[in-house]
Amino acid sequence: MKTNTAPPHYVLTGGPCAGKTTTIFEFEKRGYTVAPEPARLVIDERLVAGESIEQIKRDPSFLGSVVRKGVAIAQSVPAEEVCFFDRSVPDSLAYYKAFNVPLDSVINEALAAVQYRKIFLLDLVDFQNDEARDETPQQAMILHGLIREAYVEQGYKVVEVPVMPVSDRADFILANL
């Protein structure tokens, strides 16, 4: 099991529609340092460049781009700074598995390069698609399970965060740091 020697970097994760970003915004509103979701940044950049979500997700370089973005984000946060991450590098491990992509040096080196203090897995809320989210509710559930497995495989203890109002979720997470 990973220890508390990791920097005070906390990950909010879960399948699509778990309320991660909404909860991240709550922490930001409370004055905490937060880090954006790497995949969303990559997708948004490419959507602006004129690609469709289907083109982006079919691109074999997409997962590697997300992993590299995740490492860059993690390494940009000072080691002593409390930070809440909207997903992190081990999330990509779940997506590699979901899409039957063989593990490569990009993901393996990234997993070795980052460390987080604690992982909070947010239970799924009501499912909604948007321009960057094209999964079905069933796929979201499968991804949710794969994400849990990815963190456990990496030696992290996962704290389950039930569905509740956003401010209560933030309070729950803070009480469990």
Question: Which of the four pLDDT bands, split at 50, 70 and 90, describes residue 134?
Answer: low
CATH superfamily of 9-175: P-loop containing nucleotide triphosphate hydrolases (3.40.50.300)
- Whether pLDDT at 153 is above 90: yes
Distances (CA, A) of 6 to 10, 55, 119: 10, 37, 12
pLDDT digits (tens, 9 = 90+) for 23-81: 999 999 999 999 999 999 999 999 999 999 889 988 989 999 999 999 999 999 999 99
Q: Which of 32, 4, 16 has its CA nearest to residue 124?
A: 16
Comparing 10-14, 31-35, 53-57, 170-174, the range with the smallest average pLDDT is: 53-57
> Rounded mean pLDDT of 143-164?
96
Q: How confident is the model at residue 84, as a pLDDT?
A: 98
DSSP percent split of the chain into helix, strand, coil, nearest 5: 50, 15, 35
Indicate yes or no: pTM above 0.85: yes
